[in-house]
Amino acid sequence: MASENEALTSASYIKHHLTNLTYGQLPDGSWGIAGSAEEAAAMGFWAIHIDTMFFSLGLGALFLYIFSRVGKTMTAGVPTGMQNFVEWIVEFIDTSVRGSFSGKNDLVAPLALTVFCWILLMNLMDLVPIDWVPSLATALGIPYLKIVPTTDPNATFGMALGVFLLILYYSIKVKGVGGFVGELTLQPFGKFGLPVNLFLEGVSLISKPISLALRLFGNLYAGEMIFILIAVMFSAGTVLAAFGGLLQLGWAIFHILIVILQAFIFMTLTIVYMDMAHQEHH
């Protein structure tokens, strides 16, 4: 019986940490915050993940504040540490864009900078100890709180769809409607392979936002899950708790590479996809 209760407690702990603070239509027809994971799941498509919205917009505002403040206080003399850091990021983004984008578009570099910094800030929230913020939220009467927006597929798909719309816009702007349609229907096998061309190019086009969203979500969600599983070990005795502490430290150090790498991959693919949208095929 004790083992069953322990398993139930562990399962409830994991489920709690993987549930978003969700606002939507309750079973009685009214609108409010879900009090259980089942209620959150039943709210359907029109539900809003309040925690994802709050932390993603808040971190976006933080990014804008830091860069705008550095821009206003920038000096040609001895720079501050923050100015050095911002200049290093801007130079890094500029180098990445010059190496991967062959067209001419003043939007690409700011887009790459925004994508990289915003995603990096959201990913870094995964390094905050797993129980700190949810425990504080529970004490304040908030039933659920996930602080890592990129562990929510709604956030990653939202960003990926934004990039996808830009890809479509510039594909049509640069190539024209005829050129864009021709690219989808006439490559790679010419006019006699139109159905096959449309299928292959259509799959390739649709896969771009899906790959962007799922790669980021999958890696961050898996990382969050490992942190949660390690945290469960702290309630399993002194020996396992000590071992869990070592695992948590090791995984946190390794996870720093993951959060930076995933932001870099999303940015790089965004640049590459924008470059493809600007290339005309004859």
Q: What is the pLDDT of residue 7?
A: 44
Average pLDDT value over all residues in the chain: 90
Looking at residues 168-197, what average pLDDT do you find? 87
Dist. CA 226–CA 241, nearest whole Å = 15
Please identify every residue annotated as catalytic. 211, 215, 219
Instruction: Give the span between the Cα atoms of 29 and 136, in whole angstroms.
Output: 30
DSSP β-ladder status, 22-25 and 31-33 = antiparallel
Across the range 240-263, mean pLDDT stands at 90
pLDDT, one tens digit per residue, over 156-165 is 999 999 999 9
Q: What's the pLDDT band for 3 if we cut at 50, 70, 90?
A: very low
- Inter-residue contact 189 to 197 (CB < 8 Å): yes
* 237 φψ region: left (φ > 0), alpha (ψ -120 to 50), beta (else): left
Quick one: pLDDT at residue 12? 86
pTM flag (> 0.85): yes
Q: Give residue-wise pLDDT tens across range 201-211.
A: 899 999 999 99
